[in-house]
């Protein structure tokens, strides 16, 4: 085989998105996937306007909408009493940002990108486990477990949470949050679904746990996600996140949440890891992308979106650094990519951690959080403008962050009308 312009490692959402983006720029792209076949495990995924904007640019938004659901509202409730805390009008949000907020089955999004790559002429190779990366005089090379090598002008490493390429840049390990997710989908004909508003994305937030549900595939399925902190993980045990812990974690939640637990897949669960942010993603002609660079916790639903943004930004900088004869100044393109994406993703990673802490509060802190959320105006976008607007291509285009509101600013009273205050332990 002749060498392509680009080798992309990893056939997940990020790798496929990058391969398509670079092929759009007229480059020849070879994508290497370690599994015997392309596929994606999981259930629902949320796509905010900063992602649907890119899908529209790719000419894929209408197909995505035909496969997913464009909900009317996002609602946050207290998992203990079920009361509504705040909501976002997603139709108004679409007017503000110009693109919809939608939900889609992860495998449907993956399939959409795979078909786009096939149509664009990406060379797709399976059973190709990359074991090492190295720079060459005029590009980069990867070596497979089979001993086979692939070379290109640049290698994009979308090799996930346990990235081999990341070791070229930093000696670190995934960080366990001690939280675990259970997922499941419920067919529309069951009473559980008939009694649920599929036009809403709903999250119930509770002490050391939360529960999410929304409709998928045009309302054919109800997607559910149950997430909780594992006592076994905190104790350092290896067998953590088991179904008995699932049931115990949600024992104190409202009826609607507890009634959803029997529908979760109980033979598999997802332990929640991220990594500390790093600001260096490029090693010669090897660049990190997606979870290899910035695996987040899931609390602001930006993991796959960041990976899609990475590929789009890289494609745009290829276009800006391509000569009339078609040659790409990869040094300039990769430098521009690294100048903007790590800082944005650092913000997402750190905000995701803080948002998770906020969701899972107990005691007086929970009550203070609830006071602040109830006081929020439905049409207040001060906490989303930094995230849902156009994806920045240069550092100066990155919008300012939101201004945090301290919990201590919320007045909470006990049953006698006396003010409560937090102690250092977070309890009254």
Q: Which residues are catalytic?
A: 214
Kindly state the tokens that stand for 205. Answer: 């937030």
What does the H/E/C string look like for 204-250? Answer: EEECCEEEEEEEEHHHCEEEEEEEEECHHHHCCCCCCCCHHHHHHHC
Please provide the distance, in angstroms rounded to a whole number, between the alpha carbons at the two ends of the chain. 68
Q: Which residues contact 295 (CB under 8 A, 6 or more apart)?
A: 160, 161, 174, 273, 274, 275, 303
Give the residue from 7, 17, 12 showing the smallest Cα distance to 156.
Answer: 7
Three-state DSSP class for 276? coil
Q: Which residues contact 324 (CB under 8 A, 6 or more apart)?
A: none
Task: Evaluate the CA torsion angle 215, 376, 347, 339 in order and state its sign.
Answer: positive
d(CA 5, CA 24): 13
Give the residue from 378, 405, 391, 399 showing the smallest Cα distance to 88.
Answer: 378
Cα 43–45–49 angle (5° rounding)?
165
Three-state DSSP class for 19? helix
Q: Which residues contact 208 (CB under 8 A, 6 or more apart)?
A: 228, 229, 249, 360, 362
| DSSP code at position 396 | G
How far, in Å, are 21, 240, 272 from residue 161 at the CA level?
Answer: 22, 19, 11
d(CA 143, CA 133): 7
How far, in Å, are 45, 272, 362 from residue 179 at the CA level?
Answer: 18, 5, 16
User: Do residues 11 and 31 touch, judged by C-beta distance below 8 A?
Assistant: yes
């Amino acid at each position: 085989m002749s060498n392509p312009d680009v080798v992309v490692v990893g056939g997940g959402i990020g790798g496929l998105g990058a391969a398509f983006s670079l092929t759009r720029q007229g480059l020849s792209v070879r994508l290497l996937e370690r599994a015997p076949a392309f596929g994606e495990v999981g259930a629902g995924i949320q796509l905010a306007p900063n992602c649907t904007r890119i899908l529209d640019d790719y000419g894929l938004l209408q197909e995505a909408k035909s496969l997913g659901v464009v909900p009317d509202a996002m609602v946050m409730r207290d998992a203990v009493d079920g009361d509504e805390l705040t909501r976002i009008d997603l139709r108004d949000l679409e007017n503000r940002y110009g693109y919809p907020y939608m939900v889609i089955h992860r495998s449907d999004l993956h399939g959409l990108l795979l078909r786009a790559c096939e149509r664009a002429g990406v060379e797709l190779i399976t059973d190709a486990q990359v074991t090492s990366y190295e720079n060459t005089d005029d590009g980069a090379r990867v070596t497979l477990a089979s001993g086979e090598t692939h070379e290109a002008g640049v290698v994009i490493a979308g090799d996930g949470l346990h990235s081999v390429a990341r070791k070229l840049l930093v000696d670190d390990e995934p960080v366990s949050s001690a939280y675990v997710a259970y997922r499941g989908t419920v067919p529309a004909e069951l009473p559980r679904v008939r009694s649920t508003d599929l036009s809403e994305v709903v999250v119930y937030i509770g002490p050391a746990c939360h529960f999410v549900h929304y409709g998928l595939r045009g309302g054919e399925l109800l997607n559910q996600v149950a997430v909780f902190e594992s006592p076994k993980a905190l104790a350092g045990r290896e067998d953590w996140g088991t179904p008995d812990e699932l049931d115990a974690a949600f024992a104190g939640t409202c009826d609607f949440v507890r009634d959803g637990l029997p529908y979760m897949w109980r033979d598999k669960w997802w332990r929640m890891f991220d990594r500390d942010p790093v600001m260096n993603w490029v090693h010669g002609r090897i660049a990190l992308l997606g979870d290899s660079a910035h695996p987040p916790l899931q609390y602001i639903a930006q993991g796959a979106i960041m990976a899609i943004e990475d590929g789009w930004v890289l494609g745009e900088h290829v276009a800006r650094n391509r000569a009339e004869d078609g040659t790409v100044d990869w040094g300039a393109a990769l430098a521009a990519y690294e100048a903007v994406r790590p800082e944005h993703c650092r913000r997402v990673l750190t905000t995701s951690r803080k948002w998770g802490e906020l969701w899972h509060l107990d005691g007086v802190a929970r009550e203070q959080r609830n006071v602040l959320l109830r006081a929020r105006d439905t049409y207040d976008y001060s906490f989303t403008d930094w995230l849902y607007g156009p994806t920045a291509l240069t550092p100066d285009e990155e919008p300012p962050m939101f201004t945090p509101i301290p919990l201590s600013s919320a007045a909470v009273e006990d049953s006698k009308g006396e003010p409560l205050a937090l102690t250092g332990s977070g309890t009254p």
